[in-house]
Structure 1
């Protein structure tokens, strides 16, 4: 895959395959294109050359409605700050994601509550009442509610304190085997990246393997 932003070329012959049950962490300097890579996988940015396949479906060039359907069915996303609707309860935040994917309401509520219970999220009237770690676990439940084959996370521990970061990272990297999904994490934190099955560094438009003993 190749992608240029204006006159600047971000990626050059970039290639990445992620399998079910596998986790990959991508590190790299600011401005190297880590978040742009996730946007390409989500179909929010169209690469200037190459292809992007999600569960075998080529998403480059898909019509918006078809792309949205693939994204809601096959991809879950965890953002740095959770991006929850603060006025909604944790349960309703998760259920909403399922309803947008056209799940039946009662089935969605049952699945959402089970996920929240499994991830240790307490009941609350609004998500504003939760701690930072609890909000991130709610965001993880929301990302998992439609049973995606691929889970993406953009700096998911960047806004957390050290203790909460470690607990959240442990939870995240346990998800691929627990839920049979692939996990692609973008992070500046080498301690978080080291938990992945594979570490890659994005620099000068190329993804290069990073050994577990090297600094990311």
Structure 2
């Protein structure tokens, strides 16, 4: 992923001022910042849900900011996976159906979609269940990670993925999430208020005054 010259303002307040960011495959970046600084809006720009005033957002070689309609939906489905704070699973569906559905919607054949879904759920240690409501909070988030990965995206996005979890579960979900770049060759961009979660990333950046500022070296090093 490569972001260049991103500009965006809302209600007269500048959120991004010539913002720049590079994220390579197999690497992770965590973005921190105060509430209202624009962290979640940045993820929305990357996904093409919010249109910047100017600038480019290249994911898998394509400028997301230049896409519209069906072309944007296809590129998002093929190249990006998203993990939300509360998982956003369909509660009436099983974990397997939740994950396979994302592949089916992307045009994957049914047998292949279910095989991929089952392989990811097994890898992430999610048990079988008749509905996702039967899962624990951590199991639901691991299911959400599997769903985000089922289409083999170039970029995995996560918005406060551990924010609704207790400390022990948070650590287990963070273990899974930050292992994904190495295991699946994707870039990982995480928005979080939790400094312990952020410190797991290769780079930690704070969104301040419309720009991304390095927080400092982490134990993981920098890329």
TM norm structure 2: 0.94
Unpaired runs of 5+ residues, structure 1, are none
Q: 1:50 aligns with which of 55, 66, 70?
A: 55
Q: 2:116 aligns with which of 75, 86, 111?
A: 111
**1:6 correspondence with 2:20:** no
Distance 2:92 2:68 in 1: 33
Q: 1:210 aligns with which of 181, 201, 215?
A: 215
**CA offset at residue 166 of structure 1?**
0.5
**CA offset at residue 63 of structure 1?**
2.2
| Residue in structure 2 matched with residue 138 of structure 1 by the alignment | 143
**CA offset at residue 13 of structure 1?**
1.3
| Residue in structure 2 matched with residue 16 of structure 1 by the alignment | 21
| Residue in structure 2 matched with residue 28 of structure 1 by the alignment | 33
Distance 2:66 2:31 in 1: 25
Q: 2:168 aligns with which of 156, 163, 166?
A: 163
TM norm structure 1: 0.97
Q: 2:83 aligns with which of 71, 78, 81?
A: 78
Q: 1:88 aligns with which of 85, 93, 96?
A: 93
Q: Which secondary structure state, in structure 2, belongs to the residue aligned with residue 47 of structure 1?
A: coil
Q: 2:185 aligns with which of 180, 183, 201?
A: 180
Distance 2:104 2:11 in 1: 37
| Residue in structure 2 matched with residue 66 of structure 1 by the alignment | 71
Distance 2:153 2:144 in 1: 14
| Residue in structure 1 matched with residue 221 of structure 2 by the alignment | none
Q: 2:205 aligns with which of 167, 187, 200?
A: 200
Q: Which secondary structure state, in structure 1, belongs to the residue aligned with residue 172 of structure 2?
A: helix
**CA offset at residue 130 of structure 1?**
0.2
Between the two structures, name the one with larger relative contact order (CA 8 Å, sep ≥ 6): 1
| Residue in structure 1 matched with residue 104 of structure 2 by the alignment | 99
* Cα RMSD after superposing both structures: 0.8
**CA offset at residue 180 of structure 1?**
0.1
Distance 2:211 2:68 in 1: 29
**Is the deviation greater in 56-65 or in 37-46?**
56-65
